[in-house]
Copies of this chain bind each other. A is one copy, B any other.
Amino acid sequence: MNTTMKDVAKKANVSLSTVSRVINNSNLVSKDTAIKVRKAIKELDYQINESARALRTNISKLIGVIVAGMDNPFLMKVLKSIETEAIKENYNIIYGDSEGELEQELYYINMFQQKKIDGLVVMTAKFSDELIKYIKESNIPTVFASGHLKQSDLPSVTVNNVKAAEDVSEYLFGLDDYFGIIRGPYRDSVASEERMQGVINKYKEKNVPLKKKYISEGDFTFKSGYKAAKILIDKNKDISSIFAFNDQMAVGAIKYCIDNNIKVPDQISIIGFDDIEAAKYANPSLSTVYQSGTKLGIEIMNILLKEINGTQFTKKNVFIPHDLIIRESSK
């Protein structure tokens, strides 16, 4: 059977409580006994039983992460970064891909609750009222990381989607009188909604009517970008630039152009979002909005850990930096 604290106590000739103290680095224990106990621990190869500890302390050292779409390389970078940060504080990550379905999200959260997660990260597409209500009532420390929550006081950290989209728009307005947009799913993605807002702002600022036919909808996949590009180009014969709301759709759009003998960027400039690794190696290499998944993960965990530990933190809504990177796919 597994060796327990009891065995260690016996071996070291001390009481259970002393062993516990040593393990938890209490200073209420003399150096000598501590050494003695540590020796016993090593000799018996004793391992903490986290289940028992969790039962007793109500601390599971588990953090739940809900994402919408693990096929997104950018999200994976975030997921990796979160794990890296978590492990430093001895937390493990459990995750679930909701595919953007509320039902799935609720299901996962419920499951996570049973596992007594200490914290929750929500990187889902949509912040529905029901989801937010459920999370609030659960009382689990939570960080949102797809967009900002205006209607709520829950902490969030993301890139400044509005500003970033404005930057892209500004750039594209320098190329032509209008540009096409490949956005994310309608009414279903905060990130997409926010980026759209940035586009709308710039169109207004430039006094250009944002016609419906300038906008096409994708679902953040290569394929949808390919299709959306076709629609956009068919509808707007003179279109000369496209802003896709993520890199995959942008690459899909490029592919459509190439398949149809449309030169990128000579005839059409294409700009993406995220700057996934593949963007640099696309052909032509992809102009895009850089944001650091690693930084995002670090910031998420930073806030979450403060919440968990009850530490005060000033900024509830944090932006990570972004940067418009012009490569070969745009003039």
Contacts and interface: CB of A to CB of B under 8 A. Distances in A.
A254 to B, nearest CB: 7
A50 B94 contact: no
Nearest to A252: B281
A258 interface: yes
Nearest to A258: B283
Given A49-B116, A226-B281, A77 B71 contact: yes
Given A71-B77, A116-B49, A281-B251, A94 B92 contact: yes
A52 B60 CA distance: 11
Copies in the complex: 2
A251 B277 CA distance: 11
Interface stretch (A107-115, A188-196, A202-210, A309-317): A107-115
A44 interface: no
Given A49-B116, A51-B55, A55-B51, A222 B97 contact: no
A50 B97 contact: no
Contacts of A52: 55
A282 B111 CA distance: 39
Interface of A: 47-52, 54-55, 58, 60-62, 70-71, 73, 76-77, 79-80, 83-84, 87, 90, 92-97, 110-116, 221-222, 226, 248, 251-252, 254-255, 258, 277-278, 280-283, 285
Q: Which 3 A-B pairs have the closest CB atoms?
A: A51-B54, A51-B55, A92-B94
Given A51-B60, A71-B73, A94-B94, 11 more contacts: A50-B114, A51-B58, A51-B115, A54-B54, A62-B94, A80-B97, A83-B97, A222-B281, A248-B277, A248-B278, A254-B281
